[in-house]
Amino acid sequence: MNKLWGHFSTITSHKILVGKLCFKCGLYKQGLLHDLSKYSWVEFSAGVKYFQGNRSPIEKEKEVIGYSKGWLHHKGRNRHHWEYWIDGSLQGIFGTKMPVNYVIEMFCDRVAATMIYQKEKYRNDSALQYFMRNQHNYCMHEESKALLRSLLEMLADNGLDYTIDYIRKEILKNK
């Protein structure tokens, strides 16, 4: 499989899966608009160049050149990434509280990413394991981080259908 087709099919499969998960949660607009910037030239061309098929090309680009042009573009345009919500003052850099609907989209994004990259190795605790390995690097508001963690733990313990039902009935019930 060539890199162009591999990257295109990976990001499109991911976008469709996140869309389905967002729709199940009741986030229809976010499901439709999720990750459209991945088709922009700066993100798409970097994705093709660093495509490997088993992990994000962003990580490979960072290894090769020390940063990712595609990621810098992506995180500044997609509110479901905690990095979008970083702010600063004279006291330092901090994560601001994310609106709940974007935390839910982030949950859907992480679940879909682990499903796409892990394929048949995916388990209900896959996204939680990734989160636990990397959370010490997150400059994320504690309430937003706690909500994401609790949803990933719920997924690991109770499965996707239960977690989505909880999101719809308990978290987004008034949205």
pLDDT by position in tens, the chain (length 175): 699 999 999 999 999 999 999 999 999 999 999 999 999 999 999 999 999 988 889 999 999 999 999 999 999 999 999 999 999 999 899 999 999 999 999 999 999 999 998 999 999 999 999 999 999 999 999 999 999 999 999 999 999 999 999 999 999 987 6
Placement of tokens 């400059």 in the chain:
139
Q: Give me the pLDDT at residue 55, please.
A: 85
How would you write 50-83 as a 3-class SS string? CCCCCCCHHHHHHHHHCCCHHHHHHHCCCCCCHH
**Dist CA 63 CA 172 (whole Å):** 39
pLDDT reported for residue 54: 83
What local confidence, expressed as pLDDT, does residue 175 receive? 62
pLDDT score for 170: 96
Closest CA to 131 of 145, 116, 117: 145
* Distance, CA of 174 to CA of 102 (rounded, Å): 15
